[in-house]
Chains A and B, each alone.
Chain A
Amino acid sequence: MKKAKIGVIVFPGSNCDHDSYYVAETMMKQDARLIWHKDGSIGDVDVVILPGGFSYGDYLRCGAIARFSPVMKDVVRFANNGGLVIGICNGFQVLTEAGLLPGVLLKNKSLLFICKYLHLRVENANTKFTHRCESGEIIEIPIAHGDGNYFTDQDTLKRLEDNQQVVFRYCDRFGNLTDDANPNGSLNNIAGIINEAGNVLGMMPHPERASDPVLKHIDGKKMFESIIQSINPQFQTAENMVSERSV
């Protein structure tokens, strides 16, 4: 079966790059590769993952310096040509800094770094990144960030809402969008958004940390499966997943 070519960008300070690589390569049995940020080109890939971490130590602002890494020019070109790009956590911050997604991730309202499992409501399951979910489905995926407070101006917010570009929202376990369920102060409980063209997604929660059954939570797997199936419609599910076999 044709494998999806999944490039994971590695910035100095990335620390979820290998997790993403592991899910894509070992669990999903796709053709994953790590791409060093100094590479001038991403090469021949179907999808680019900007992983979580602390690129450049979060100096100046999260993602502000990573967006000037040599490889980012090619990532922007790839995205503008319709290539699939997903930014997770720090990757989301890089995408906003690079102007591929609107808005900005401010410091968490509580000022605390928050690392915990929480619930998300899938607001738009009609995307290349979420079509294996149901619209309105409640999934459990962890966050781990100090700067995840999504902010944008009112006009942009309205546009995002009107176009169904809000893909994930923080909710309680029943799916209610309460203030208590909002960990960081994000506008409208926003946890993830997609661009207007539908090929660039940014999310603060970490699907790669909720994919391996060993970790008990596997809702993040649906994002990887959605992406791979968007590239290869024959893909059904990751057969004989290593972890299931070894458990």
Chain B
Amino acid sequence: MFHSNVIVTLKKSILDPQGKAVEQGIHSLGFDAVSDVRIGKYIEMDIDTNSHEDAERITKEISDKLLANLVMESYSFNTESVKE
């Protein structure tokens, strides 16, 4: 069994109004040193396979086809073996 964590973020070139709004909140909180706040998505999943390579391939395919829209987003992931 493997466990994948996928992080999807808006590409740097895409304006992130949600991140901007949160950044304003952070500044209101008094943390003026903070900038470039961006919002993304975190997705985790279990994958029932014995092969690390398989688990990575599956995660990549799901990310490409469903979890991220590559026109506006990019993603990264981490796949680890877990005890059953």
A residues contacting B by CB (< 8 A) are 60-61, 64-65, 68, 96-97, 103-104, 106-111, 151-153, 185
What are 27 A-to-B residue pairs whose CB atoms are below 8 Å?
A60-B41, A60-B66, A60-B67, A61-B69, A64-B69, A68-B66, A96-B71, A97-B69, A103-B71, A104-B69, A104-B71, A104-B72, A106-B14, A106-B15, A106-B72, A107-B18, A108-B17, A109-B15, A109-B17, A110-B17, A111-B17, A111-B18, A111-B21, A151-B14, A151-B72, A152-B71, A185-B15
Chain B: interface size category: 10 to 19
Q: Mark B10-21, 1 if CB is under 8 A from A, else 0.
A: 000011011001
Residue of B nearest to A105 (CB): B72
Please give me the 10 A-B residue pairs with the lowest Cβ-Cβ distance, nearest first.
A104-B71, A111-B17, A104-B72, A104-B69, A61-B69, A109-B17, A107-B17, A111-B21, A106-B72, A151-B72
Given contacts A96-B71, A104-B72, A106-B14, 19 further A-B pairs with CB under 8 A are A60-B41, A61-B69, A64-B66, A64-B69, A68-B66, A97-B69, A103-B71, A104-B69, A104-B71, A106-B15, A106-B72, A107-B17, A107-B18, A110-B17, A111-B17, A111-B18, A151-B14, A152-B71, A185-B15
